[in-house]
Amino acid sequence: MGDIGSIFLGTLFGSIVFLAARNFLEFFCLASFLFPFYADELTTMFVRLRNGDNLAQPHRKHFYQLLVNEKNFPHWKVSVGFGLFQLVVGLSVLFVKSHGTIPVFVLLSFFFTAFTAASFYIRSSLEEAKNNYPTQ
């Protein structure tokens, strides 16, 4: 799809969420259905900034790209995994929504921490493998 398609769909989905939400809590809950994309972007942006990468340059450092391109997981399995994670996050948030903003925020913080831990685990295992088997 590339960046142009991703930007278009992100803007479209974000606009739908913004227009459909009647208050901040609803906006937060509806946006949580796109949680894996937000979490992946935030962790990838952090890694690229930490490494001093030029953010305007193309890259292949998103978590899903690492799983497919570096760890050789089949693309369909990564897509299904992201979809299932997205569904679990969204449904969990809807389940705790009636308890207010703080429980929703705590739940999303838990999911973000889990996503970040998985992302950094994969990134560190790839870095370790690269250090153990340097290419010339």
The band of 134, judged by pLDDT with boundaries at 50, 70 and 90, is: low
| pLDDT per position as a tens digit, 19-67 | 988 988 888 888 888 888 889 989 999 999 999 999 888 888 999 999 9
Distances (CA, A) of 95 to 23, 53, 92, 98, 114: 17, 39, 5, 7, 19
Cβ-based neighbour number of residue 132 at 10 Å: 7
Is 70 exceeded by the pLDDT of residue 2? Answer: no
Domain that holds residue 34: 2-132
Query: Into how many domains does the chain fold?
Result: 1
- Across 93-97, average pLDDT: 93
